[in-house]
Amino acid sequence: MSATDKTPAEDPDVCVVGAGPASALLSHCLAKRGHDVVILEAGPRFDLDERIERMKRQIHPDRADNEIWDMGGERDAYTTSGDHSWLINQRRVKGVGGTSLHWGSVVPRLYEKDFEMESRHGIARDWPISYEDLQPYYAEAEQEIGVAGPDDAPFFPPREEEYPMDPLAPSYSDKLFARAGEALDIEVHSMPMAINTGEYDRNECQGYGTCQFVCPSGGKYTADIHVRKAEREGATLITEAVVQRLNHGPAGEEITEAVYETPDGETHRQKADVFVAAAGAYETPRLLFLSESGEYPNGLANSSGTLGKYFMGHPPAGVVGVLPNEETHVDSYGPVVSSGIHQFYEYDDPDDPKRGSVNIFLTNVSGPSPATLAMAEESVGDELLESVDLQFGSTLQANMSVEMLPREDNQITVDDSQTDSYGNPVPDVDISPSEFARRGQVRGTEAVSEIIEEMGGTVVYADGTLTVEHDEMPPIAKGGYHPLGGSRMGEDPAESVVDPNLQTHDLENLYVSGGGVFVTSGASNPTLTIMALSLKAADHIDEQL
């Protein structure tokens, strides 16, 4: 289909809303098996050629992260009403590839215990599936996207086969961390990264060092790759098609059409046999709420009353240190992350886990780049060089994502007091801190601080988001990176939105794909799990069709 023809596809089997990671592999998998798939994506297809210009926005000190991929404005309006305001337009992208255009591409799996929190640890609740159920889909997702990872990393859950590519070589700062960690019995290991080191059919990493938020070379996996593959298998992509609501038939058993608007102001109706809502964890609940009807007055797929609830994040924390008189960036290194520490994913006391699991990733590019520093200064010439030199080069940094428990009162709702550019009420994010996650942040920041001190360094920042000062933090330190929950999975239709195949309990031809279906958060970056779950759902849809 041409980029300008925005009319509905004729009689497709499957209509997928959204073109991010939760959609792309699933759409490709179904198209490959001969099903007619149409993808409706709210944003545009970004030009690969423009990525350099977007990268320069990232490096420019005066441009906000939401400007990189043109987020913001009335289309993307939202409100926050909890104790923590989240900058969600700095944490999502609307376009083919979705937020993976912006992501860091760190792709660990969840752990076995993450699926069994209630039976193992007496907290939260179990998923209706186990790690073993998902294991083959994890392997498939890793093969599809191309992951460079360690086969022998300590702590990681069991693997059935090797990673598709050898792990990334350690950076100079990784080596500094590893040596100091050894002295403290803290193990530093490679992290699985969706970055092409040469074996995959996309460009190789070229070392721009800007993976998060733009990879100009295309070496980092982004979900537009599988959208393109799906199109090659016959799928239809309609961009700038903003789905307004899903309508069902008279009996309320099945969805019949997705109603979408295009930039010319036209309203279109896409019919299909099966619908998959994969609009991201912020937008999917809103779409279901906006689709309320006489039969479903509280929103579609919400007879449990849990839609939007049990929303979670991975409250981030970070540590920045300085090694006086030592250059820490002496390498020619590209990927933003290559190593991490999963030693504190395990609980200190499994019988009484008082804190969240911690997933620590060491960053190879700490603090602003030389160009960012230079632009931000006011001086010129030698004085400028001196101040850039003074600020750059001796820093070390680790970031971490931390497990957060699901709570009913943390939720996505719609806020009727404000509307978006289509006149629809905007999503509201209501999220408040918890001690469980806070204690995880403390454990992680203490561990990294110890390592930096072991090197002879000075810790200049060690904090997490879950403090009263949250709203004073710099934008980059705030939460919202990994939205999870809000349409959780379960066997019991009275307590969950979707079943283990991501099929909604209420409507047999409606599925939800994305982080929203997570029952608990674990601490691992979530997207590999999102993709694995989507492949499991694709198997089920394939059987149904």
Partner 1 sequence: MELSRRDALAALSAAGIAATAGCSSLLGDEGTETAAEETDEATATATDAPTDAPTETPADEASSMDTMVALAEVLYPSEVEPTESFVQTYLYGRIYAEEAYAGEVDSGIETLNGLANDEAGDDFHALSADERVSVIENTDLRTGDSVHDGSDVERVNYHLVDELLFAFYSSPVGGEMVGTQNPRGFPGGYGYSPPLDQ
Ligand X SMILES: Cc1cc2nc3c(=O)[nH]c(=O)nc-3n(C[C@H](O)[C@H](O)[C@H](O)COP(=O)(O)OP(=O)(O)OC[C@H]3O[C@@H](n4cnc5c(N)ncnc54)[C@H](O)[C@@H]3O)c2cc1C
Q: Which residues bind ligand X (CB under 6 A)?
A: 17-23, 40-43, 91-92, 94-95, 98-100, 102-107, 212-213, 242-243, 278-280, 283, 287, 481-482, 514-515, 525-528, 530
Q: How far apart are CA 522 and CA 528, in angstroms?
A: 13
For partner 1, which is the closer residue by CB, 150 or 299?
150
For ligand X, which is the closer residue by CB, 98 or 486?
98
Residue 207: which of partner 1, ligand X, none does it interact with, CB under 5 to 8 A by kind? partner 1
Which of 15, 25, 96, 205 contacts partner 1 by CB under 8 A? 205
Which of 66, 197, 236, 339 contacts partner 1 by CB under 8 A? 197
Find out whether 254 and 298 touch, Cβ atoms under 8 Å. Answer: no
Total residues contacting partner 1 by CB under 8 A comes to 64
Smallest gap from Cβ 222 to partner 1, in A, equals 12
Q: Is 24 strand, coil or helix? A: helix
Residue 23: which of partner 1, ligand X, none does it interact with, CB under 5 to 8 A by kind? ligand X
Residue 530: which of partner 1, ligand X, none does it interact with, CB under 5 to 8 A by kind? ligand X
Residue 283: which of partner 1, ligand X, none does it interact with, CB under 5 to 8 A by kind? ligand X
Stretch that binds partner 1, among 81-89, 315-323, 385-393, 524-532 (CB under 8 A): 385-393
DSSP state letter for 188: -
Regarding 170 and contact with partner 1 (CB under 8 A), the answer is yes
Regarding 335 and contact with partner 1 (CB under 8 A), the answer is yes
Tally of CB atoms within 10 A around 263: 12
Regarding 164 and contact with partner 1 (CB under 8 A), the answer is no
For ligand X, which is the closer residue by CB, 17 or 323?
17
Residue 22: which of ligand X, partner 1, none does it interact with, CB under 5 to 8 A by kind? ligand X
Residues in contact with partner 1, shown as a per-residue x/- string from 337 to 376 under the rule CB under 8 A: ----------------------------x---xxxxxxx-
- Residue count (the chain): 545
Burial annotation 427-458 (CB, 10 A radius, 16+ → b, else e) = bbbbbebbebbbbbbbbbbebbbbbbebbebe
Q: How far apart are CA 329 and CA 397, in angstroms?
A: 12
Regarding 228 and contact with partner 1 (CB under 8 A), the answer is no
Regarding 389 and contact with partner 1 (CB under 8 A), the answer is yes
For 347-383, give the secondary structure using H, E and C. Answer: CCCCCCCCCCCEEEEEECCCCCCHHHHHHHCCCCHHH
Query: Pairing between strand 255-261 and 267-271?
Result: antiparallel
Q: Is 227 strand, coil or helix? A: helix
Which of 87, 393, 460, 467 contacts partner 1 by CB under 8 A? 393
Find out whether 338 and 330 touch, Cβ atoms under 8 Å. Answer: no
Which of 160, 378, 469, 543 contacts partner 1 by CB under 8 A? 378
Q: How far apart are CA 507 and CA 27, in angstroms?
A: 20
Q: How far apart are CA 117 and CA 123, in angstroms?
A: 6
Tell me the CA distances in angstroms from 310 to 344, 353, 412, one per residue in order.
24, 20, 9
What is the H or E stretch that residue 177 is in?
helix 172-183
Residue 95: which of ligand X, partner 1, none does it interact with, CB under 5 to 8 A by kind? ligand X
Nearest to 37 by CA among 234, 229, 226: 234
Six-digit token string for 52? 């350099």
Residue 174: which of ligand X, partner 1, none does it interact with, CB under 5 to 8 A by kind? partner 1
Find out whether 404 and 313 touch, Cβ atoms under 8 Å. Answer: yes
Find out whether 479 and 315 touch, Cβ atoms under 8 Å. Answer: yes
Interacting residues toward partner 1 by CB under 8 A:
48-53, 55-56, 59-63, 168-172, 174-176, 179, 195, 197, 203-210, 216-219, 327, 329-335, 365, 369-375, 377-382, 384-385, 388-389, 392-393
